Each structure stands twice: as structure tokens, then as C-alpha cells.
Amino acid sequence: MLTTAPCLRTRRPSPTTAEFVVSTLPPPTLPLRIAHGAIHLLRLILAFCIMLLLYSSWSQSPYASTLTTATAPLEKPSPPVLLLHTTQDLTTPEPSVTSISVETSTSDTNNSEPSLLSLTTIQQTLQALLSTPLFAPLKTLSSSIPPWILLPASLATLYLLSLRIGVEERLLVLRGLGIQTSSSGATVFSSLKTRFIPTDKIQDVLIHEAFRGFEVRHSLIVIVEEEAHVVVVFPKLLPRPRILEVVWRGVRECLYEYDGGGGGGGGGVNKGDGKV
């Protein structure tokens, strides 16, 4: 399985530093790494085919010829070359000019090949790929699907291909400095959402109980000074109370230099009615 229920991994590089990672990804083993690599490779191939399909649809539209004409390089006329034909009489030391002609030489730059990253080279490469038996069905498929259907369907598929496998959230505790929360983005292109809370701004760390219908939900919260709302740790996954209790004890032990057992600063379990 590529994903599991949220599990906790703890790292203690030093007595004053602790990192708690809650993830839906199982421990990385060799078969799992191979499976992830194969999935990422398949995603890249599918994304390339979709982009090639969109290009094929665009190349068959009237906008393609207009853009090609507009972006075609203009040939600059070569500057005229002045040629002097002279003759010299052996009896006179100075040569005499007999004729003057103006010629235009062809510049070598006009006949030079386009660069590797030029628009012309890219279009020629894509057209050559669409002419191969492997990608020829994409050209047929693009001509049979209307662009107003192909474009949104392709964009939606590209978004699905960019989604991350699993969710990972972290809590880094640095004694004397503060804590930092981070959550992975929804896609592989989105960065981590992080927030750092200094130690002097932390009033308390609690396990909060709230009712959602007939269900009790537990979450680890940080009460920050001069803020009306609390900071929820692991907001996407909301792991089991057992995991939250382990993280809560580890945070208080690392942050306040003692084993947090519910005392010291009023830490404990916060009920949904606001009582600690």
C-alpha cells in the first residue's frame, strides 16, 4: 500500500531539539521506493502525452499559422558592398580608378540554422514526434475532440497527476527559540506551509476536545499570546489521541525542560467547552 493511517515518527538530534512527523506514508523500504519511482515516471509520461495532445490540437487550429507567421524571423538586407576596380599604369606611381560597382552580398546569418531552443526548432521536434507511430494516435485523437472539451479535461488531468502521494505534517521544537509547524502542499509544485512561534509568545500547549456532531475530535493546539485564534498542529491529518498525547508530552519536555505530565503552565486536555 502506498498510504496508511497517520503514523508518528520522532527524531531527537539533540536534547534541546525534537521533531515530530505525522505522515500517511509508510516507512520507506526498497520496494516502496521502486513503486514511487515507477509512479512518478508514469506521471511524467502521461503529462508529456497530454501536453503533446494540446499542441497537436493547437497546431491544427487557425491560430497556429497566424502565430508562426508573426514569429517568423525577418531577413535583414545585407549592407551594400562598394567595389572599386582599379588599374595601374607602370609609368605612373598612382593607380587610377576605372569603374565603381555596388554589390549586395548575402549574409551568412540568414542561412544559418535556428538555435536549439528557438520556437522553430521546438515546433519541428514536436511535429516529428507526432509523425512517429508511437504518438500518431494523439494527432488523430486531438482532431476528433473539440478544443472546448479537450482543454479543461487536459488541465484537470494535469492537476490530478501533480497531486502528492500522502500527506506529511511536522512539528519542530527548539528549546529557547520556539516551535515551527509545517504542512505539505496539495501538489508537488506547492511549497511547505510553515509557521514559527517564538517561545515567549507561547502561552500553553494543549490537547483540545471538540464535538463534531456525535463525534469527538481531538487536536493539538498552541495558545499564542495576543492572538484571538489558537494554532492547530497537524490540522490536515488530526491524528489519534494516542499520537497527540505522545507529541504533547515530547513538546513540553523539550520546550520547558521537564517531563510534561499535565502540570507546569496549566497544560493538559482542553475540553470543547473551553475548560482546561
Cα–Cα distance between 179 and 34 in angstroms, integer?
34
Supply the pLDDT for residue 216. 86
Q: Whose CA is closest to 234, among 160, 184, 197, 189?
A: 184
Supply the pLDDT for residue 264. 42
Cα–Cα distance between 191 and 182 in angstroms, integer?
10
pTM higher than 0.85 for the full model? no
Residue 127 pLDDT more than 80?
A: yes
- For the chain, residues classed under CATH 2.30.29 are 7-25+167-270
Average pLDDT over residues 85-108: 51
pLDDT tens digits, one per residue of 205-248:
999 988 877 888 899 999 999 898 999 999 999 999 999 999 99
Q: Whose CA is closest to 271, among 227, 232, 217?
A: 217
- In whole angstroms, how large is the CA radius of gyration of the chain? 34
pLDDT tens digits, one per residue of 2-24:
888 999 999 999 889 999 999 99
Q: What three-state secondary structure class fits 198?
A: strand
Measure Cα distances from 17 to 39, 126, 234, 244, 249 in Å: 35, 52, 19, 18, 14
Phi and psi dihedrals of 263, rounded to 5? -105, -175
Supply the pLDDT for residue 101. 52
* Amino acid in position 76: K
C-alpha cell read off for 157 = 488531468
Supply the pLDDT for residue 92. 54
Which residue's C-alpha cell is 514526434?
Answer: 129
What's the chain's average pLDDT? 81
Q: What is the DSSP letter of 242?
A: H
Supply the pLDDT for residue 69. 54
Cα–Cα distance between 226 and 198 in angstroms, integer?
13
Average pLDDT over residues 38-57: 95
Compute the CA torsion angle 202, 204, 206, 210 (nearest 10 deg). -80
* Amino acid in position 251: V
* 48 backbone φψ class: left, alpha, beta (φ>0; ψ -120 to 50): alpha
Query: Does residue 3 or residue 272 have the better pLDDT?
Result: 3
Q: Tell me the residue length of the chain.
A: 276
C-alpha cell read off for 28 = 520507506
Q: Which of 117-121, 144-148, 168-172 has the highest mean pLDDT?
A: 168-172
Q: Whose CA is closest to 173, among 10, 8, 17, 15?
A: 17
Angle, CA 96 vertex, CA 90 and CA 100 arms, to 5°: 140
Average pLDDT over residues 70-83: 52
Burial (CB < 10 A; 0-12, 13-18, 19+), residue 143, is exposed
Query: Does residue 64 or residue 157 have the better pLDDT?
Result: 157
Residue 118 pLDDT more than 80?
A: no
Q: Whose CA is closest to 240, among 270, 214, 219, 215?
A: 219
C-alpha cell read off for 90 = 607602370
Query: Does residue 275 or residue 270 have the better pLDDT?
Result: 270
Q: Whose CA is closest to 193, among 180, 178, 177, 175?
A: 180
Compute the CA torsion angle 192, 198, 203, 204 (nearest 10 deg). 50
Percentage of the chain lying above the pLDDT 90 cut: 49
- CATH 2.60.120 fits domain 7-25+167-270: no
Supply the pLDDT for residue 103. 52
Supply the pLDDT for residue 121. 85
pLDDT tens digits, one per residue of 81-94:
555 555 555 555 55
**Which runs of consecutive H residues, i.e. helices, occur in the chain?**
30-59, 62-70, 119-131, 136-144, 147-161, 241-256
